[in-house]
């Protein structure tokens, strides 16, 4: 029996984040020092020496520029700032959910009012609301009742929501989506 190699399927991990110091591939780079002053285009060796002289790192800020733009700063602080910026962007983003409310053509007034109250609550939270009116059996002959119900919903929610998808018929149900203003 042969013994399998332990590192046979080992993959090299790709380095994450910006290139720093010796990892920078370009021969000449545009250098900005730690105070934000532009030092101009320097050979990579001189730029790294300038960074080491200040006790900091040379970080490639804009790799696609010609020549690449590098800044002299602490790599730990730079990564921390990027992480903070990403978490702030994540905190500010709003995820909109789609809530569904199901009705029937013969829905009573109290039940209708309760559904509209819930729809208004969802819309004020920033969620979209999908209204579905289901038709069973002989109700299919009275499609106008469903259309009237949808128009009533539109008028009752127009101050906090607007129609995204107009009422349309799909099979045995009528569907409409309202989004917040």
One domain, residues 131 and 66: no
pLDDT for residue 36: 87
Give pLDDT tens digits for 105-154: 989 999 999 999 999 999 999 899 999 999 999 888 989 999 999 999 99
Task: Tell me: pLDDT of 91 over 60.
Answer: yes
One domain, residues 64 and 134: no
pLDDT for residue 99: 93
Phi, psi angles (nearest 5°) of residue 54:
-90, -5
135 and 141 Cβ atoms separated by less than 8 Å: no
pLDDT for residue 15: 64
Distance CA 109, CA 107 (A): 7
Indicate whether 10 belongs to any domain.
Answer: no
Q: Which CATH number covers residue 170?
A: 3.30.110.10
One domain, residues 60 and 123: no
Distance CA 140, CA 135 (A): 6
One domain, residues 63 and 135: no
Number of domains in the chain: 2
Q: Look-up: residue for tokens 């009237």?
A: 148
**For residue 165, what are the β-bridge partners?**
177
pLDDT for residue 152: 94
Phi, psi angles (nearest 5°) of residue 31:
-115, 135
119 and 127 Cβ atoms separated by less than 8 Å: no
Indicate whether 50 belongs to any domain.
Answer: yes
pLDDT band at 90 (very low <50, low <70, confident <90, very high): confident
Strands 128-134 and 173-180 turn out to be antiparallel
pLDDT for residue 18: 84
Distance CA 136, CA 103 (A): 12
Give pLDDT tens digits for 30-86: 999 888 899 899 999 999 998 998 899 999 988 888 889 999 999 888 889 989 999
Indicate whether 13 belongs to any domain.
Answer: no
Minimal CA–CA distance to 38: which of 27, 26, 50, 49? Answer: 50
Q: Is the pTM of this model over 0.85?
A: no
Number of neighbouring beta carbons within 10 Å of residue 90: 8
- Give me the domain span that covers residue 71: 21-80
Indicate whether 2 belongs to any domain.
Answer: no
Burial class (CB within 10 angstroms; exposed 0-12, middle 13-18, buried 19+) of 63: middle
Phi, psi angles (nearest 5°) of residue 15:
-70, 130
One domain, residues 46 and 102: no
pLDDT band at 2 (very low <50, low <70, confident <90, very high): low
The answer to which of 9-13, 17-21, 39-43, 72-76 has the lowest mean pLDDT is 9-13
One domain, residues 107 and 67: no
One domain, residues 104 and 50: no
One domain, residues 51 and 116: no
Indicate whether 1 belongs to any domain.
Answer: no
């Amino acid at each position: 029996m042969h013994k399998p190699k332990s590192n046979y399927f080992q993959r090299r991990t790709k380095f994450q984040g910006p290139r720093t110091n010796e990892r920078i591939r370009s021969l000449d780079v545009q250098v900005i020092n730690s105070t934000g002053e532009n030092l101009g285009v320097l050979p990579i060796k001189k730029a790294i020496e300038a960074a080491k002289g200040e006790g900091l790192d040379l970080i490639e800020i804009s790799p696609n520029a010609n020549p690449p733009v590098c800044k002299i700063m602490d790599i730990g602080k730079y990564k921390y700032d990027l992480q903070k910026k990403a978490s702030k962007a994540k905190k500010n983003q709003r995820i909109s959910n789609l809530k569904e409310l199901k009705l029937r053509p013969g829905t009573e007034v109290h039940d209708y009012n309760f559904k509209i109250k819930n729809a208004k609550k969802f819309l004020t939270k920033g969620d979209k609301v999908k209204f579905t009116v289901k038709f069973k059996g002989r109700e299919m002959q009275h499609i106008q009742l469903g259309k009237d119900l949808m128009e009533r919903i539109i008028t009752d929610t127009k101050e906090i929501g607007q129609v995204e998808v107009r009422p349309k018929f799909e099979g045995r149900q009528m569907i409409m989506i309202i989004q917040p203003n």
